[in-house]
Amino acid sequence: MEIKILGTGCAKCKKLYEATDKAIKELGVTATLTKVEKIDEIMAFNVMMTPALVINGEVKSAGRIPNAAELATLLTTAAAKG
């Protein structure tokens, strides 16, 4: 599973990265987690607000930080498809 956190490095972007990393470890799923901070790369996903969470090329959340339960659901659903 490939997970990207889109954001220019703001506090919320860092918080989403940390929360996602924690969820991956707690769930024991195999995933590659990367930060995307370049504006042109972020715009390629048609995201107007950051932070954004992208799982396997699909934007799952934008402009907010999903809570732990929502993150767990998004990750387990993607892992099951994957």
Return the active site residues.
10, 13
Q: Give CA–CA dist 36/68, Å, rounded.
A: 21
Q: Give CA–CA dist 78/15, Å, rounded.
A: 21
Please report how many Cα atoms fall inside a 13 Å half-sphere around the Cα of residue 67, on the Cβ side. 1
